[in-house]
Each structure stands twice: as C-alpha cells, then as structure tokens.
C-alpha cells in the first residue's frame, strides 16, 4: 500500500492541506479535536515517518544525535545500523558520540548535541542516575537540549519516550532453564548494580530465577563489577583457583562472555561448565561453535528507537511511549 499524501489525509479528515501541515509542524496551533482526528487517520493508514520527514518542524540542523557507552561494542554496532536505516529514509544525518559510561562524559556529550542544534537525540544513559540521586540533574540537562530525545536500552524512568529489553525476565528464564537441566550452583558475572540500571535488573532476574527454582543464593558465586572482558576473565580465574563448586555460568553482556571464554579455555576447562551469555558473540557463530545466549535484537531496537524519535519530532504533543522488547533465550548445548 502506497503512503498517503497530505491531500489524501486532508480529504479524509475534511480539512485543508494547511491544517494537516500544521498538525505535523505546529500542532499547538490546531484545535485538539481536529488534531486528534488527523492523527488517528494517519495512524490507521500506517502513515509512515518517512512520509512526514519533509514536514518536520523547521530547525537549523538536519542531524540526529546518538549517544552510547561504547561505539566499538558489537551490540551498539547493530543498534547504529538499525538507527541508520530509518534516519537515511528520512534524509537526515547522524552524529555519534560515546559517553564511556561516565557522568562527566555524558554531560559533555549532551552539551555538544545542544551546541550542534541537533533535531533530536537517541540516548543511552551513562549510569544509574536514580541510584546516584541525580535524576533531577539529568532530566534538566535533557530538557535543555531544545529538541526531543528517546532513551534507549537503559530505562531510568526519565520523562521521555523510551525503548528497552526486559532483561530481568530474560535472565530469570536463563536461570530456570539451567535449573530444569539439573544445575543447582549457577555462577553469575554482572556489572555494577549501583552504577548501571541494567546490572540491577539482571541481578534481580537472577534472584527471581533462583527463588522460583527453589535454589538458595550463594554469595561466593556472584560477581558484580564492570562490564569489561578483563573483569569476567579475573572473576573466572578466581572461581577456578578457589575451587568453588559450580556447574553453570551466566555472563551479563558480550564483553563478559568473552572474558569467561578466555579464562576457561586457558584453564583447559571449556567443556566443564554450561554457559549462557547475554547478547550473541558473533565469532562463535562464525566458527560454528555451539553456544547459549540471550538474544537481544539491537538492530530492531535501533529501528524502533529512530521511528519513535521521528514520530516525536512530527507530533511533539503525543503521549509518551515506553516500548518493552522481549529477548529470546537460544539454547544450543543443553
């Protein structure tokens, strides 16, 4: 089905093309009942963001800003590609920036987006601002951008559109699957829950799974530090050297998964444990090595995040949306 034109929408709504254009560019100037009628027609007809891109509010810049923790991480690489698909369709350009999971870098990145007068920002928060007591500060910083923003991946309950995965449910599912396979001692390697909201959700998912499976939590099997390959490597070496009994391991991002693999291969014990990683490690698939992982489709998340932003630019007064995506547990070895 071809996209509707402004003339088509105007005819269906019984209004002028100028009124339709105002709804997309200056909705506050249109009577609420008329605006809602036009927006409902667009939604029912699947009037896509690409069709509205030429009518977005006029700004000096045609650039969309993207702020993520690690530009080199494969998860964010796929996210970028999903974002680019939608942004390119709308004849906009992209400005990428890394906050390195640091508050100061985060604020500097947001300040840079403001000075560049970007049309909108796709934003992964650097840290767990609620836990740090800094929600007011980050919200004020985002409101000072002068453009819409969408929070991606880490839902810290900002007053803005957001899209993220249900990581808590996914990790719980992983624990229950391991328990069903007979594992009672499941090691858990995670990031810092005080700094990263995802680390908090993943740890709660781990605990949820243990409780439901009737397994008591063992403090010596839980490692929560940094989302870095080196941290998981050292955690696994510690577990192996202390000869702490365990039969399965969950690592909470692809960097931690790589650290786990390095440690067990060096020790010659790669076949001794059942491992579930959060996020796919592409090299294992390329080498056709069976592995287990929680699949979070970051490409699709990037697409949907960009669509949310384009829609917000076109319709600034619409209701805030919080999109929750479902990860998939892929089991290849148990």
Say whether both 171 and 290 belong to one domain.
yes
Q: Residue 2: its pLDDT value, please?
A: 52
Q: Residue 41: its pLDDT value, please?
A: 87
Domain membership of residue 91 as a residue range: 63-165+298-324
- The distance from CA 322 to its chain's CA centroid, rounded to whole angstroms, is 12
Task: Collect contacts of 239-243 with beta carbons under 8 A, ≥24 apart.
Answer: 239/187, 240/264, 240/267, 240/269
What band does 52 get if pLDDT is binned at 50, 70 and 90?
Answer: very low
Q: What is the pLDDT of residues 261-301, one digit of tens each?
A: 999 999 999 999 999 999 999 999 889 999 999 999 999 99
* Spatial contact of 253 and 75, defined as CB atoms under 8 Å apart: yes
Q: Is residue 254 part of a domain?
A: yes
What band does 42 get if pLDDT is binned at 50, 70 and 90?
Answer: confident
Closest CA to 228 of 108, 47, 64, 73: 73
Q: How many residues are recorded in the chain? A: 334
Q: What is the pLDDT of residues 154-212, one digit of tens each?
A: 999 999 999 999 999 999 999 999 999 999 999 999 999 888 999 999 999 999 999 99
Q: Residue 196: its pLDDT value, please?
A: 93
Domain containing 78 — which CATH number?
A: 3.40.50.2300
* Higher local confidence (pLDDT), 40 or 220: 220
Say whether both 221 and 281 belong to one domain.
yes
Say whether both 288 and 304 belong to one domain.
no
Closest CA to 179 of 327, 334, 326: 334
Q: Is residue 57 part of a domain?
A: no
Say whether both 88 and 104 belong to one domain.
yes
- For residue 276, list its beta bridge partners: 250, 292
Say whether both 140 and 205 belong to one domain.
no
Q: What is the pLDDT of residues 204-226, one digit of tens each?
A: 999 999 999 999 999 999 999 99
Say whether both 153 and 241 belong to one domain.
no
Q: What is the pLDDT of residues 89-139, one digit of tens each?
A: 999 999 999 999 999 999 999 999 999 999 999 999 999 999 999 999 999
State the DSSP code for 228: S
What band does 25 get if pLDDT is binned at 50, 70 and 90?
Answer: low
CA atoms within 13 A on the CB side of 241: 8
State the DSSP code for 127: S
Q: What is the mean pLDDT of the chain?
A: 92
Averaged pLDDT for residues 64-71: 95
Say whether both 148 and 171 belong to one domain.
no
* Spatial contact of 244 and 236, defined as CB atoms under 8 Å apart: no
148-159 burial string, b = 16+ CB within 10 Å, else e?
bbbbbbbbbebe
* Higher local confidence (pLDDT), 38 or 76: 76
Q: Residue 3: its pLDDT value, please?
A: 59
Closest CA to 302 of 64, 61, 45: 64
- The distance from CA 95 to its chain's CA centroid, rounded to whole angstroms, is 18
* Spatial contact of 276 and 291, defined as CB atoms under 8 Å apart: no
- Separation of alpha carbons 130 and 194, rounded Å: 10
- Separation of alpha carbons 88 and 76, rounded Å: 18
Task: Say which residues have a Cβ less than 8 Å from residue 49's Cβ, sequence separation at least 6.
Answer: 86, 89, 90, 307, 310, 311, 314
Q: Is residue 236 part of a domain?
A: yes
Q: What is the pTM of this model?
A: 0.81
pLDDT for 242 beyond 80:
yes
């Amino acid at each position: 089905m071809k996209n509707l034109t402004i003339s088509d929408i105007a005819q269906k709504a019984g209004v002028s093309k100028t009124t339709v254009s105002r709804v997309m560019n200056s909705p506050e100037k249109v009577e609420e009942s008329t605006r809602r009628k036009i927006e409902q027609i667009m939604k029912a007809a699947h009037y896509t963001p690409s069709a509205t891109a030429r009518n977005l509010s006029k700004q000096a810049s045609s650039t969309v800003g993207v702020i993520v923790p690690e530009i080199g991480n494969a998860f964010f690489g796929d996210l970028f590609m999903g974002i680019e698909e939608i942004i390119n369709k709308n004849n906009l350009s992209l400005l990428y920036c890394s906050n390195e999971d640091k508050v100061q870098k985060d604020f500097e990145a947001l300040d840079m987006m403001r000075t560049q007068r970007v049309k909108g920002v796709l934003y992964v928060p650097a840290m767990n601002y609620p836990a740090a007591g800094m929600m007011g500060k980050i919200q004020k910083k985002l409101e000072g951008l002068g453009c819409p923003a969408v929070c991606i991946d880490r839902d810290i309950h900002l007053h803005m559109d957001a899209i993220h995965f249900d990581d808590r449910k996914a990790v719980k599912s992983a624990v229950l699957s391991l328990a069903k396979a007979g594992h009672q001692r499941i090691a858990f390697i995670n990031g810092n829950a005080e700094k990263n909201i995802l680390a908090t959700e993943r740890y709660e998912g781990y605990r949820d799974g243990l409780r439901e499976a009737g397994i008591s939590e063992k403090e010596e099997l839980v490692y929560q530090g940094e989302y870095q390959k080196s941290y998981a490597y050292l955690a696994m070496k510690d577990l192996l050297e202390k000869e702490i009994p365990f039969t399965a391991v969950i690592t909470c991002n692809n960097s931690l998964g790589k650290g786990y693999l390095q440690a067990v291969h060096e020790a010659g014990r790669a076949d001794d444990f059942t491992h579930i990683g959060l996020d796919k490690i592409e090299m294992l698939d390329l080498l056709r090595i069976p592995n287990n992982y929680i699949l979070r489709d970051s490409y699709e998340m990037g697409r949907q995040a960009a669509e949310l932003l384009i829609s917000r630019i076109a319709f600034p007064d619409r209701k805030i949306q919080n999109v929750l995506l479902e990860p998939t547990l892929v089991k290849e070895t148990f």
